[in-house]
Structure 1
């Protein structure tokens, strides 16, 4: 199995509607990109100060399946149209498990 984890912090001025659109659009991807085995997205619970504001965790059977997701036009469109316009910072890691 191969896991992809991404953490986002939104830019100052990002609206609640823009943030909700990120979650909505990312949530559509499992129906489009069948290589995903598990997929979870969500806003930080606000328990600890200094956390990133949003997380994505995606599991795949293999690195090759992750690469399909990474490069898929639907995924790239969500990044370009919804994430990048409100992104302040991003952290990511991929690992086998």
Structure 2
């Protein structure tokens, strides 16, 4: 199994409404793109200063499923419309479970 973890830090241009819309769009990826066995998208709980603002954790049965997801046009569209324009920073890792 491949686990894909992404931490998002939103720019100052991403107001509360924009952040909610981005998170909702990311959550729809499980239905709209598929290929994953689980998906969690959540906002930071605000317990520690300096954390990212949101996280996406997705599990895929294998590397091929992850690569299909990563290249899927719907996924790319969500990134282009709801994520990249509002990012100050992003960090990701994929690892085998």
Q: Secondary structure at the match of 2:47?
A: coil
- Which runs of 4 or more aligned residues in structure 1 lie more than 4 Å from their structure 2 counterparts after TM superposition? none
Is structure 2 residue 82 aligned with structure 1 residue 82?
A: yes
Cα offset, 1:29, TM superposition: 1.1
- Counterpart of 1:44 in structure 2 is 44
Shift of 1:34: 2.6
TM-score (normalised: structure 1): 0.96
Question: For structure 1, which runs of at least 5 residues remain unmatched after alignment?
Answer: none
Q: How many residues align?
A: 97
CA–CA distance in structure 1, aligned partners of residues 37 and 61 of structure 2: 7
When the two chains are superposed, the root-mean-square deviation of aligned CA atoms in Å is: 0.8
Residue deviations 1:32-90, cap 9 Å, x none?
22311000001100001110001000000000000011111111111000111110000
State the distance in 2 between where 1:22 and 1:74 align: 14
Q: Following TM superposition, by how much is the alpha carbon of 1:13 offset from its aligned partner in structure 2, in angstroms?
A: 2.5
Say whether residues 1:59 and 2:40 are aligned partners: no
- What is the aligned partner in structure 1 of residue 95 from structure 2? 95
| Aligned: 1:5 with 2:5 | yes
| Partner in structure 1 of residue 24 of structure 2 | 24
Structure 2's unaligned 5+ residue stretches are none
